[in-house]
Amino acid sequence: MKHYIASIRMLLAFTLVAGLAYPFAAGLLANALFPRQAEGSMISRNGSAIGSSLIAQKFTSDRYFWPRPSTADYNASNSTGSNFGPTSAALKKAVDDRRAALLKAHPGQAEIPEDMLFASGSGLDPHISPAAARYQAARVAAARKLDPAKLGALVERHVEAPQFGVLGEPRVNVLLLNLALDNAK
């Protein structure tokens, strides 16, 4: 019986420490040191939240840059990859369908960046490659009747360097680029 009582005490102690005290302390520390990130890196317009710079949003209009494809349909509560392997017929069909849609939307541009064909592992990656942004620039410029050179300069201003200068690849946050596009005169 002593062992049962000791086990129950340990269970309660670890539940309090690992289940309550640690998450509470981590939340307080995160809010103190990184308040914007701890609140979800929300972006507001006119006082209301319109999205997070950390989660992709679905843009389908020709007037906007499109994000990477999402197997979660950009639903943050359903973050998932497709789990299709390289020999999967379903993956091949999805990529072929995306390729056809992109070729239709971008006539004469046969060289499609890979990140526009394949979904990210989470299905919610907010970034595209600079090549993917440049690929879409002619479509966006035509839809908005903008000077392609000015739009190209806007894209280049939104290219983010690898983290700490060495981690990852250069990237473009689609939501931030589209918001800058809306604010451009």
pLDDT for 30-87, tens place per residue?
Answer: 999 998 888 888 888 888 888 888 899 999 999 999 999 998 888 888 888 888 888 9
Tens-place pLDDT, residues 119-154: 988 888 999 999 999 999 999 999 999 999 999 999
In this structure, what are the phi and psi dihedrals at residue 144, rounded to the nearest 5 degrees? -100, 0
The verdict on 89 and 122 lying in the same domain is yes
Asked if 163 and 126 sit in the same domain, the reply is: yes
Q: Mark whether 77 and 142 lie in a shared domain.
A: yes
Residue 155: phi and psi, rounded to 5, are -60, -45
User: Which residues is 127 bridged to in the sheet?
Assistant: 173
Question: What average pLDDT does the chain have?
Answer: 92
Judge whether 123 and 79 are in contact, CB under 8 Å: yes
- Output the pLDDT for position 36: 85
Clarify whether residues 29 and 79 are in a common domain. no
26 and 54 fall within a common domain: no
